[in-house]
């Protein structure tokens, strides 16, 4: 099959994964990004078993595991009662099953290096405004050369996927990457809650590079409507609020000297009816986005990249390949969109009733067979058998 020319819009997880795998199969790939030196935004994330399987296919899995932190448990208590209301353990799927939490910078560098090593070209400093007829149109008014395929990996605010951007969810979060401090489980995402209105979390994210210190991602749930008030609030008063909810975070808060160390992240929820529209194919958040409660964003993006690569490898006709890609991913995406929509209010909302149901109904039920294995499979990204669906592309 002759090689095809492919433009990838966006140098994030989805875009770089597509570039690494497609270039590795002999396609001519150019990745366009608005930054002069592409870099990641944010703190840390959990790569689930499904996402790690994709990284292994790219050839970046060993590097990411060596830098990241193994995650074997998601654990949360509600305060002030200290009642356990979240306890998901990967070992319910098998003793060797675990996730890996990683600094976004470490994941970015691993994927960037893999894409370049595979032969992808990185075209930095190009802000993309639109696309059509196999070309990207840049904000300065110029156009790219014509490509056989354009992949939109620009994320939830992509100008290529939606005429009107998705409205943000009511709650976002403040994030910071800090030096690891004692007193926390080195193999767990830990959280503390006050009803569903407040949440503070600590996630070990390993090292940014081989010579760096171990780090933790610290996050604090915050409503969009309250961001301006938080910026005006006395900084020490905010720290006192965090300490009241979780006193053990003192060593982490000591490292936060100024508000500028905290990045406010926003989230949105929504899925396009099809990943094929406006003359491009969408991957990752450009196609589907959700809150981070199930920790699936990067994993979904990696699965999209694998499915698209597989479909293009199996089918010589691009239109047929894109239809196969959509079929391979649609059910898994719908399942996790639904699960995210259901779970998010239990951990980020103003509702008293749903917090009560979480603490006194859902938490006890989650400990009764077969719920522990079901929850572990949900967190691991296995529900809907996404890898099997991708493997089946081209069957029949």
What H or E segment, with its residue span, contains residue 104? Answer: helix 104-118
pTM: 0.96
* Residue 216 lies inside a defined structural domain of this protein: no
The position carrying tokens 């991957």 is 283
CATH of the domain at 272: 3.50.50.60
Which structural domain, as residue segments, surrounds residue 141? 5-167+268-391
Q: What's the mean per-residue pLDDT of the chain?
A: 95
The pLDDT assigned to 217 comes to 97
Q: Which two tokens stand for residue 93?
A: 């799927």
Based on the structure, what is the number of domains in the chain? 1
Burial class from Cβ neighbours inside 10 Å (0-12, 13-18, 19+) for residue 87 reads middle
* Residue 95 lies inside a defined structural domain of this protein: yes
The pLDDT assigned to 164 comes to 83
CA atoms within 13 A on the CB side of 351: 15
* Residue 57 lies inside a defined structural domain of this protein: yes
Measure CA 246 to chain center.
26
Q: Which two tokens stand for residue 79?
A: 């305060």
The pLDDT assigned to 163 comes to 79
* Residue 382 lies inside a defined structural domain of this protein: yes
* Residue 121 lies inside a defined structural domain of this protein: yes
pLDDT in tens, 66-85: 999 999 999 999 999 999 99
Is the pLDDT at 15 greater than 80? The verdict is: yes
The pLDDT assigned to 207 comes to 97
* Residue 251 lies inside a defined structural domain of this protein: no
Q: For residue 278, what pLDDT band results from cuts at 50, 70 and 90?
A: low
The pLDDT assigned to 40 comes to 74
* Residue 202 lies inside a defined structural domain of this protein: no
The pLDDT assigned to 43 comes to 83
Is the pLDDT at 119 greater than 80? The verdict is: yes
The pLDDT assigned to 386 comes to 98
The pLDDT assigned to 193 comes to 98
Q: Which two tokens stand for residue 190?
A: 């830990």
Q: What is the DSSP letter of 350?
A: S
Q: How many CB atoms lie within 10 A of CB 318?
A: 15
pLDDT in tens, 221-275: 999 999 999 999 999 999 999 999 999 999 999 999 999 999 999 999 999 999 9
Is the pLDDT at 110 greater than 70? The verdict is: yes
Q: For residue 394, what pLDDT band results from cuts at 50, 70 and 90?
A: confident
Percent of the chain whose pLDDT exceeds 90: 93
Interval 332-336 mean pLDDT: 97
Is the pLDDT at 279 greater than 80? The verdict is: no
Decide if 176 contacts 140 (C-beta within 8 A).
no
Q: For residue 293, what pLDDT band results from cuts at 50, 70 and 90?
A: confident
pLDDT in tens, 133-180: 999 999 998 999 999 999 999 999 999 998 788 899 999 999 999 999
Determine phi and psi for 347, rounding to 5 degrees.
Answer: -125, -15
Cis amide bond preceding 80, omega within 30: yes
The position carrying tokens 């200290």 is 82
Torsion of CA 135, 166, 286, 298, to 10 degrees: 150
The pLDDT assigned to 395 comes to 65
* Residue 181 lies inside a defined structural domain of this protein: no
Please list, residue by residue across 95-124, b when 16 or more beta carbons sit within 10 angstroms of its beta carbon and e when fewer do: eebbbbbbbbbbbbbbbbebbbebebebee
Q: Calculate Rg over the CA atoms of the chain.
A: 21
The two most distant CA atoms of the chain are separated, in Å, by: 64
β 69-71/99-103 pair status = antiparallel
The pLDDT assigned to 36 comes to 82
């Amino acid at each position: 099959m002759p090689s095809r020319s492919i433009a990838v819009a966006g140098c994030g997880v989805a875009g770089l994964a597509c570039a690494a795998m497609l270039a590795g199969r002999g396609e001519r790939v150019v990745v366009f990004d608005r930054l002069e030196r592409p870099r990641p935004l944010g703190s840390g994330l959990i790569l689930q078993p499904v996402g790690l399987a994709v990284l292994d296919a790219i050839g970046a899995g060993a590097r990411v595991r060596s830098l990241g932190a193994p995650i074997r448990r998601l654990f949360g208590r509600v305060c002030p009662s200290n009642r356990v209301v979240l306890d998901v353990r990967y070992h319910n799927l098998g003793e060797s099953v675990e996730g890996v939490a990683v600094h976004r910078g470490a994941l970015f560098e691993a994927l960037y290096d893999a894409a370049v090593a595979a032969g992808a070209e990185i075209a930095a400093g190009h802000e993309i405004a639109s696309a059509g007829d196999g070309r990207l149109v840049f904000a300065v008014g110029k156009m790219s050369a014509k490509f056989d395929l354009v992949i939109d990996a620009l994320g939830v605010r992509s100008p290529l996927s939606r005429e009107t951007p998705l409205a943000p969810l009511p709650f976002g979060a403040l994030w910071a990457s800090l030096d690891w401090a004692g007193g926390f489980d080195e193999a767990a995402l830990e959280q503390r809650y006050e009803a569903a209105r407040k949440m503070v979390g600590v996630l070990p994210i390993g090292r940014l590079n081989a010579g760096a210190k171990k780090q933790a991602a610290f996050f604090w749930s915050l409503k969009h409507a309250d961001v301006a008030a938080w910026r005006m609030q006395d900084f020490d008063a905010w720290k006192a609020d965090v300490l009241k909810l979780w006193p053990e975070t003192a060593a982490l808060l000591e490292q936060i000297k100024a508000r500028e160390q905290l990045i406010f992240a926003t989230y949105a929820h929504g899925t396009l009816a099809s990943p094929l529209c406006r003359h491009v194919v969408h991957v990752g958040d450009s196609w589907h986005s959700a809150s981070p409660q199930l920790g699936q964003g990067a994993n979904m993006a990696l699965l999209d990249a694998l499915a698209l690569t597989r479909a293009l490898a199996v089918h010589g006709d691009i239109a047929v390949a894109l239809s196969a890609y959509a079929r391979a991913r649609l059910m898994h995406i719908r399942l996790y969109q639904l699960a995210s929509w259901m779970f998010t209010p239990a951990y980020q909302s103003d509702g008293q009733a749903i917090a009560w149901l979480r603490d006194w109904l859902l938490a006890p039920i989650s400990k009764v067979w077969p719920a522990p294995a079901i929850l572990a499979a949900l967190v691991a990204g296995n529900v809907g058998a996404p890898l099997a669906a991708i493997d089946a592309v081209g069957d029949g």
